[in-house]
Amino acid sequence: MANLITGIEAPRVRANLERIRGELPDGVEVLAAVKYVPLEELGTLAEAGITIAGENRAQDLEAKAQAHPGFRWHFIGQLQSRKVKQIVPYAELIHSVASDSALRQLEKHGTPESEILVEVNVAGEDEKAGIAPAELGAFIERAPVKVVGLMTMPPFADDPEASRPYFTRLKELAGEHGLHHLSMGTSQDYRVAAEEGATIVRLGTILYA
């Protein structure tokens, strides 16, 4: 398990954030992934200008969102259907909807304001969650809440350019289904993701280092 990120300094985060925003086209939002950021360090991120925080675990989302309601909270981890009820009150956007069981829970616990992204397994990796591109249209039609976009995690590669075909395909799929938001790109490949149409990039260590 990765170590918690402690000793975060607001000036350093602010400088990293400003540099990254300068590299991104207008309209691309920076989400700070805070899975390994302790609750007591979140105030420093707010001081540094972070506005969107993404959490991977339902129980941590609940605790952190209650303590720091000033952030726009997103859920970015693997979505367990039994956790949907816990997530919905706090997450402005859920990035990782990828099962019919999650849709059933969203029907029970979602609200008219609930918005989601559908996770797409563009690369067809057996070990990863996500809807197959060919099944995306039917899945969106079954969704009981508003689908506003798509998310993907390409296969890990040392070269950011290796991610480009997967980002390109996700943008194509969003266009085919009339969706605007694209959550794609992490610390390693966010520049390529932005070039291919990302509207949200999910950044962790590159913000804090």
pLDDT tier at 3, thresholds 50, 70, 90: confident
* Residues β-bridged to residue 94: 75, 116
Residue 5 placed within a domain: no
Residue 3 placed within a domain: no
pLDDT in tens, 170-182: 999 999 999 999 9
Residue 131 placed within a domain: yes
Mark 49-71 as b/e (b = at least 16 C-beta within 10 Å).
ebebbbbbbbebbbebbeebeeb
CATH at 176: 3.20.20.10
pLDDT of 166 above 80: yes
Q: Give the CA distances from residue 61 to residues 9, 47, 50, 113, 163, in Å, rounded to whole numbers and listed in that order.
A: 22, 19, 16, 19, 28
The pLDDT assigned to 155 comes to: 95
Measure the CA–CA gap between 192 and 177, rounded to whole angstroms. Answer: 22
Residue 41 placed within a domain: yes
Structural domain range at position 90: 10-208
Residue 4 placed within a domain: no
Structure token digits, residue 55: 């959490």
Residue 134 placed within a domain: yes
In this prediction, residues 51-69 reach a mean pLDDT of: 98
Total tally of structural domains belonging to the chain: 1
pLDDT tier at 190, thresholds 50, 70, 90: very high
